[in-house]
Structure formats: structure tokens, C-alpha cells
Structure 1
Amino acid sequence: MARILVVDDQHLIRSGIVTLLRTVEGLGPVVEAADGEEAVAAAREHRPELILMDIKMPRLSGLAAAERILALEIEPVPRIVVLTTFDEDEFVYAALRAGCSGFLLKDMPPAQLLSAVAATLSADLLVAPARIRRLVERHTAAHGLPPRPADDAADPLTGREAEVLGFVAQGLGNDEIAARLCVSESTVKTHLHRVMTKLNLRSRAQAVVYAYETGIARVGRGPAGPTAAGG
């Protein structure tokens, strides 16, 4: 049974989401927090599998709280979905870059919210990979972002690991990557796990952002490097 944490400084919105989630059979306990500071403390205590968190809150923003929570090294790593009133690229990009798995609009119908929660608990991403790719491409092109250097303390990726990360950035699923590389899906999962561990990435969405910002994937192109070009 999945534990869920709902974080929002507006009591009416927070209690409404909590009440809705508590009507769903099969979900675990649903706890709540009123701001980012409380969210970090609640995550440390309750170790939720899923966190629904408002972006703009007093004391500590949702994005800052997400970064602190993901740095706690809770196992399994909680999937964080940010709640916002605006479908804006900048907010979504910042959330994905921080390691969140996606975003939801606060005014979405209750049935859609429940479907999104179920989808997030069963998959690595809430936002479609193709949309993440387009978002990152637009943001990178618009801002002319220079490559972000990898952590000096991290082991470098092998050629195959970089290739797998590049395919993830294209929006390919593990089964599609396995078909491209003529390997098993379990082998792809092993490579991806090593990538996430070496680079200290907390979500597949964050891996996509990292791939573009470091040049492993390129705007409008496939993975960088001769192995990718060879198919």
C-alpha cells in the first residue's frame, strides 16, 4: 500500500486532495503538510512513495523542498509531483530539473487527479517522455544553455551507458531501447540504474534534462557519439 504525502499551504485545497485520496481503496496512509519545511520533516518520518507538492509556499518553496527530500536518500526514492495553477514551461522545467516526476494542475477534475496518482505510482514518469523532450529542447534553445558539467566525484559513464541515456532523452521506453541495442530489457534496466547511481539522478525526467544539458543528447538530434550514429 503506497504512502502519500500532500503538501499545500492552502488548507482548503490540501484537505480536499487528502479527503479524495482517502476514499480510494488500496492506497496507504495519506499524510499532509502545510509548507516546504513541514514537507521535509514529514518525508523523513513517513517515507512516502508519492508526494504531491505545491510549488509556491511560504518558508520553503516546493522546488526547494523537493531538492531537500531527494537528498535525504530515502529508499525507495519518493516520486514527487508538483501542483501548480499554471501550465507554464518554466515551472515544469524547474520541477523536472530538480528531480520531480511530473506536474499536475490544481484545477484538474478529481477523476483525472486519481488517474494521475495511479499512473505515477505504477511508472517512472507522469509527463509523457515526448513532451519532456520537447520541453527540454525548447528551453535549451530559448536560453542557449551551456553544457552542465557532471559531478567531478561521479564515475564517468561507459559508452553504452551514455548511449542508453541518450535514448532515454529521446523518449524511448526500456523495451524500445532494448530493441535498438539488441539486448534484453533487463540489461537496459541495469545500464540505466548505473547511470542514475553514478550521476546521482533521482528520476527519469531528471535524466532527460541532464542528457540535454550535458550534450549527451542534442536538440533536434539523437544521442551524441559514434555508437548512437551506428544504430
Structure 2
Amino acid sequence: MKKLLTVVALSFVLAAGAAFAQPFYVAGDMNGWNAETLQMVDDGTSGDAVAGDGIHSLLVTIEFAGRHEWKAALFGWGDSWPYSGNSWFYTTSDNEDVLFTFNINTVGDGWLADGYWPYTDHSLAIKIVGDVQVPLGDPDNWNNATGSLFLHDDGLNGDAVAGDGYYTLLGNIGTPATYYWKVVVDGTWDAIGADGAGVNAANMELVLSEPCLVYFVLNANLGRLYASCEAPVDNEVLNWSNVKSLYR
């Protein structure tokens, strides 16, 4: 019998073209939370890869290394994303270039986030937390410190291609139920969830109707997650080095 699973967001999902005025701005601790200066574009310039693709982007040099928080905002804080808390990223050296993106596309392809989510190319989080941890062999659920469920991009154990920016974990879950999960930076609650990268990222929902081998996958190129008994089919398979070269 075919395995059945649904993936549902516990977050807002807005259609592209919703009634939010453009443009969008990068506002964060690196610019005094000013939502009037760092304007994102979707015109193929300033780090934006493809004009008119619904991904608003801006390449920004971050003065100081460390952890940072930010939001995508309308001019003067008319509205901002993520709605709950801030988005986050890390730099490892002073004057490091960071690509900020705000994706307003609603694709409906089973991956989340889907519609209005912030992300950067410095927001990698690959450790699963949630109530899937004990079923997958960890001693505790929702433990971001000692959990062992790391996704890998090494071409092994269900990961299709090494180094393509898709991080994968295969795990057997034997009890049909509804589960909640997200991925975090090890030892923190900086997460990627159903509404993108955020300190309060919304949980992913996993509904299993029977025992199954689950594919947990992060598309680190776009900041999107997937979980299913079926291997993912994604029409946006991009090599991370190619993505970086496009943005640069």
C-alpha cells in the first residue's frame, strides 16, 4: 500500500502578489534597524540572481563578525517578516558579504516555507529538533544540546548528491501520529522552520498514517524544508557553488 503523508505549515502562507507594497528593506542590528536605507531588489542587480523571479535580494557587507538578527520590512516598518521574532545569520570575519533574500513566491510543491520568507546565505541550520527525536533514537524530544539528528550533504544515506546544498536525514518512524519539528543551529534556538529562518521559526508538521522511512531534507540554497515517506522532487535543484556564483 502506498505510504501517505502530508506536510503542513503552522504559519502564514501568502500568495505572490498579495497586497503588500514593494519594495522591501533589510533592517537589522547591523544598520540600527533602519528600514529605509538597504533596499532589496528583484531586478538582477545588487546580488539579485534573476530579475522578476519573486526573490528580492541585496548583497550587504557586514562590518563585524558574529551573530546578527534582521527582518525584511516595508519602508518605515509598514510591515515586517518574519512576523514572530527576528531572522538570524552568522558571519565569521569582519567585512563579510552576506546575501539577504526575501522570497514572495507561493509554489505549492510540498516544501516550506512557501510565500514571504526571509533567508540569507549565512543562515545554515542542520540539526533536527522536535518530538521526532525520541522516535528517531535521541534520548529526549526538543533537545537542542545533546540531540544527534544532523542532516548531511555528503551523497550518502539518502542524500542524492554531495555538495549540492541539499542536506538529508533518513529515519524510520514506527508509530503513526502527528509530529512537529524544525532544524536549528547546534545548541541554539536559531532555527529554520515553516516560515523561514527565525528565532521563533514556526514548526513543521509531519502527519504519518503508517510506519515509514522518512526523508528529512533542507534546501540550504533557498531555506526550505521537506519531510515525507517519498523522496523529494524539487524543480529548483541548484548546486550551492553555482548559486553563490550567481549572487556574486
**Coarse TM-score class (shorter-chain normalised):** under 0.3
Q: TM-score, normalised by structure 2?
A: 0.26
Higher relative contact order (CA 8 A, sep 6+): 2
Higher strand share: 2
Higher helix share: 1
